Amino acid sequence: MDQESPKNSAAEIPVTSNGEVDDSHEHNFNRDLKRSLPSGLGLSETQITSHGFDSTKEGVIEAGAFQGGQRTQTKSGPVILADEIKNPAMEKLELVRKWSLNTYKCTRQIISEKLGRGSRTVDLELEAQIDILRDNKKKYENILKLAQTLSTQLFQMVHTQRQLGDAFADLSLKSLELHEEFGYNADTQKLLAKNGETLLGAINFFIASVNTLVNKTIEDTLMTVKQYESARIEYDAYRTDLEELNLGPRDANTLPKIEQSQHLFQAHKEKYDKMRNDVSIKLKFLEENKVKVLHNQLVLFHNAIAAYFAGNQKQLEQTLKQFHIKLKTPGVDAPSWLEEQ
């Protein structure tokens, strides 16, 4: 009697009526496998997908955390809240990004202006005043340089006259037959040296005042002018960006960019208007201060030079008193604060 061969369920391949492989068995196998695993162990869901024997692809095993029939990825590590503290490194990185973007826009604006392709905002009246100020600063620097040269040469002459007066005085004592002649020349050279020191004090006071005007007062105004010019370049750069966006299409993607560009343009416009107002005020105050300072210093310089070459010692000393100039006596230290009290 023929014996039936035992059937091995693992070797059976169910086939549908159309000749295709039936996947219901595979699906039931996976379902039974998941039910057999303990749910409290937190094991990963395992799905084994097999393909037909005629496929060249290998089997795929997918693994993931099993949670309510859905696969989710578990992340280890501390829990990060939504309102986390800002990272200083990220803040610095954001500042660098904004600075780089602003520098790029300004550089592009400068290049386009030099090439004649971009437009620039010009305040004709203010620009004319700035040009005059820069030109005057160069001329005042030249006057200051010449006055310093005159002071150096006068100092050398006074030093030579003092030495010559001492030499004449020494010969006056040693040469009895020429005692009076050497004595006259010694007195004359000493008087010239004294008047020269007085004139030197007036010239040095003139130099100090003009130096303060040129290298502090005018320079401070020019620093404000540089800030104004930087604000003008930024204003024109963001104005150009806004104009380019307004010429383009308006849709859901471009409208947020236009609104952001409008906000940045308005902020830089306010900065530009503020800097322009600051420059106008400083130029006005500088002009008033410059006229007052130079008027006094030019009167001092003229009166001191005229009195010196006229040989009018009293007029020369009166000029220094008029401008409250105190000469420092050679070899005498300045009084202490106790002596001044």
Taking the C-alpha atoms of residue 205 and residue 300, their distance in angstroms, rounded to an integer, is: 9
Taking the C-alpha atoms of residue 291 and residue 281, their distance in angstroms, rounded to an integer, is: 16
Report the pLDDT value the prediction gives residue 85, as an integer from 0 to 100: 57
The answer to whether the pTM exceeds 0.85 is no
Which residue's entry shows tokens 């989710």? 72
Count of CB atoms situated within 10 Å of the CB of 324: 7
- Span of 55-59, 113-117, 197-201, 283-287 with lowest mean pLDDT: 55-59
Taking the C-alpha atoms of residue 271 and residue 148, their distance in angstroms, rounded to an integer, is: 41
The first and second tokens of residue 136, run together, are 């005057």
Report the pLDDT value the prediction gives residue 86, as an integer from 0 to 100: 64
- Which of 301, 132, 142, 298 is closest to 214 using CA atoms? 142
Residue 192 in this model has a pLDDT that exceeds 60? yes
**How much of the chain, in percent, has pLDDT values that exceed 90?**
36
Residue 60 in this model has a pLDDT that exceeds 80? no
CATH 1.20.1270.60 fits 138-321, yes or no: yes
For residues 326 and 212, the model is more confident at 212
Taking the C-alpha atoms of residue 35 and residue 69, their distance in angstroms, rounded to an integer, is: 12
Report the pLDDT value the prediction gives residue 32, as an integer from 0 to 100: 56
Domain residue spans of the chain: 138-321
Residue 172 in this model has a pLDDT that exceeds 90? no
pLDDT in tens, 279-320: 999 999 999 999 999 999 999 999 999 999 888 888 888 888
